[in-house]
């Protein structure tokens, strides 16, 4: 599986969610990696300085002063529009990108507060799809009464100049490449698959590829804020959306309204550390699943200890690596797809029954259940086509951070530390972090602390057994932010808002509606 910061709220899919990290940069030697890291360190402050300038003047005036032409978009209760933003903020004259925007107006009663922008994470998740399929109808009624609910697909994502990389059959082949290589030939094939992926992105999306960073998307959000007529940005970001929200606060602290960052990322960590931390998060989630499973007599991983269940799953992965399973269609279930299917179910404990059934069938010799989970993770349609989620995910991540590794030898060297973090998933996730090593576009970001000095209170939410964004990331981000407040959900699953905790939902709703965050350190279950 490809595992680089695909961080989505579980509400975006019933049985799957996301990705996370992997290193990113073009070139494969250490010297090139160092050069690009130094370049990104120099570039990032410049982009933040430019963002602080008055947007109502100069070359950005046409963007900040544009009027949206709202139209019916075929979904009851929602309007759609197209927002123009500069392809390159450093050279606004170089051309535009067209960004898809959707909204549903405040329902009342009560005085309208403003617009509430939502983002489900990814990077690569469609915010418009999330708004129309969940947030715009499923957020608490008091919130929808007082806010226009708004979403914009980030540049490179879904309806907004989507990054494209592979055909459906090519993507099928990519998802099946062995990511636990046993010898030099398998290492070479894994590296070749990442090179083919990167080359496909450059061939099909070379113009937009250097301009899909989180900093650029945060700047697009400020254009949208102004165009909507809001003095401050009110925002709920989940998973990767927390990094996007924190980046906005760093760029525009004086324009921060009510920001909820749910399932928080830690922007101070390198790609390698982020990958390794998340690998540990998946282990924590698996152990919770296993503890629940082994209590019942029909658990496919046995009725012994959690450790024995982990050993049984590792044996199953080895078995399907050696002899892939039939699935009732043209594709077989090998180790990579089987691992992806299991990880997909780690994002939401509501998917655990589905995972138990899928594992029971797979251990019995039939792999369609795990394949269905993997397909939902990759957003593969029944006709063999894929959404652009994975393409956008890699494109954004490969700009945002220097790579985890300079070459395959570095990945191989890191395997033991990943296996320490997760005996079950460590080896595969260590190798998955190689995916951006061959990226054609140099990174423009770097790991750094975000303080957002001068911002209004920002609410950071963390879940203690979150598989994709480990709880310690939320603690770290809340501590970094000068105005950060930490709200903790003691439970399982990825993100906390809207997952059934009245304590969490009440605290977040109060903050959104009244601007008053809960007491720092508040805990809910």
Domain ranges of the chain: 7-26+164-208+270-432
Q: Which of 466, 476, 501, 505 is an active site residue? A: 466
In 3D space, the residue among 169, 198, 224 whose CA is nearest the CA of residue 397 turns out to be: 198
In 3D space, the residue among 229, 206, 195, 182 whose CA is nearest the CA of residue 65 turns out to be: 229
Cα(398)–Cα(213) distance, integer angstroms: 8
Q: What would the pLDDT profile of 445-462 be if each residue is shown by its tens digit?
A: 999 999 999 999 999 999
Q: What would the pLDDT profile of 128-161 be if each residue is shown by its tens digit?
A: 999 999 999 999 999 999 999 999 999 999 999 9
Cα(483)–Cα(454) distance, integer angstroms: 8
Residues in the chain: 525
The answer to whether residue 466 is catalytic is yes
Neighbour count for residue 183 (Cβ, 10 Å): 7
How far lies 280's CA from each of 420, 425, 468, 469, 471, in Å? 8, 9, 9, 10, 11
Q: Which of 239, 376, 422, 501 is an active site residue? A: 239
Burial class (CB in 10 A: 0-12, 13-18, 19+), 110: exposed
Cα(242)–Cα(476) distance, integer angstroms: 13
Q: What would the pLDDT profile of 398-455 be if each residue is shown by its tens digit?
A: 999 999 999 999 999 999 999 999 999 999 999 999 999 999 999 999 999 999 999 9
Tell me what pLDDT residue 33 has.
30
Cα(223)–Cα(220) distance, integer angstroms: 5
At 289 the three-state DSSP class reads helix
For the entire predicted model, the pTM comes to 0.92
Residues of the chain under the 70 pLDDT cut: 1-57
Neighbour count for residue 172 (Cβ, 10 Å): 18
8 Å CB contact between 279 and 271: no
Tell me what pLDDT residue 24 has.
27
Q: Which of 220, 494, 501, 505 is an active site residue? A: 494
């Amino acid at each position: 599986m490809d595992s680089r910061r695909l961080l989505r709220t579980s509400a975006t899919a019933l049985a799957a969610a996301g990705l996370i990290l992997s290193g990113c940069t073009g070139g494969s030697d250490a010297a090139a990696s160092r050069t690009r890291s130094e370049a990104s360190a120099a570039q990032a402050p410049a982009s933040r300085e430019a963002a602080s300038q008055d947007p109502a003047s100069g070359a950005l005036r046409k963007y900040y002063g544009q009027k949206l032409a709202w139209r019916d978009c075929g979904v009851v209760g929602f309007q759609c529009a197209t927002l123009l933003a500069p392809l390159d903020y450093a050279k606004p004259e170089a051309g535009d990108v067209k960004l898809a925007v959707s909204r549903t107006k405040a329902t009342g009663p009560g005085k309208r507060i403003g617009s509430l922008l939502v983002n489900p994470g990814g990077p690569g998740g469609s915010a418009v799809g999330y708004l129309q399929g969940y947030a715009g109808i499923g957020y608490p009624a008091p919130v929808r009464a007082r806010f226009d609910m708004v979403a914009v697909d980030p540049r490179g994502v879904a309806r907004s100049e989507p990054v494209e990389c592979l055909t459906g059959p090519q993507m099928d082949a990519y998802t099946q490449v062995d990511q636990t290589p046993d010898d030099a030939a398998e290492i070479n094939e894994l590296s070749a698959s990442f090179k083919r992926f990167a080359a496909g992105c450059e061939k099909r999306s070379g113009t937009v590829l250097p301009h899909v960073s989180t900093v650029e998307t945060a700047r697009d959000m400020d254009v949208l804020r102004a165009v909507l007529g809001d003095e401050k940005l009110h925002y709920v970001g989940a998973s990767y959306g927390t990094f996007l929200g924190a980046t906005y606060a760093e760029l525009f602290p004086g324009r921060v309204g009510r920001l909820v960052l749910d399932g928080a990322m830690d922007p101070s960590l390198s790609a390698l550390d982020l990958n390794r931390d998340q690998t540990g998060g998946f282990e924590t989630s698996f152990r919770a699943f296993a503890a629940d499973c082994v209590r019942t007599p029909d658990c496919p991983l046995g009725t012994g200890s959690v450790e024995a269940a982990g050993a049984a799953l590792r044996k199953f992965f080895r078995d399907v690596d050696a002899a892939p399973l039939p699935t009732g269609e043209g594709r077989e279930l090998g180790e990579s797809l089987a691992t992806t299917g299991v990880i997909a179910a780690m994002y939401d404990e509501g998917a655990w029954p589905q995972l138990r059934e899928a594992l029971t069938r797979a251990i019995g010799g039939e792999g369609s259940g795990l394949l269905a989970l993997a397909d939902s993770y990759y957003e593969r349609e029944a006709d063999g086509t894929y959404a652009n989620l994975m393409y956008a995910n890699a494109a954004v991540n490969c700009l945002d951070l220097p790579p985890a590794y300079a070459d395959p030898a570095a990945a191989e060297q890191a395997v033991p530390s990943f296996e320490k973090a997760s005996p079950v998933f460590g080896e595969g996730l260590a190798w998955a972090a190689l995916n951006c090593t061959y990226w054609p576009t140099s990174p423009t970001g770097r790991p750094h602390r975000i303080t957002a000095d001068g911002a209004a209170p920002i609410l950071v939410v963390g879940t203690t057994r979150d598989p994709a964004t480990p709880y310690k990331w939320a603690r770290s981000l809340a501590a970094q932010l000068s105005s950060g407040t930490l709200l903790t959900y003691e439970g399982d699953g990825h993100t906390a808002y809207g997952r059934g905790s009245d304590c969490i939902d009440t605290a977040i709703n109060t903050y959104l509606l009244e601007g008053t965050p809960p007491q720092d350190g508040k805990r809910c279950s």
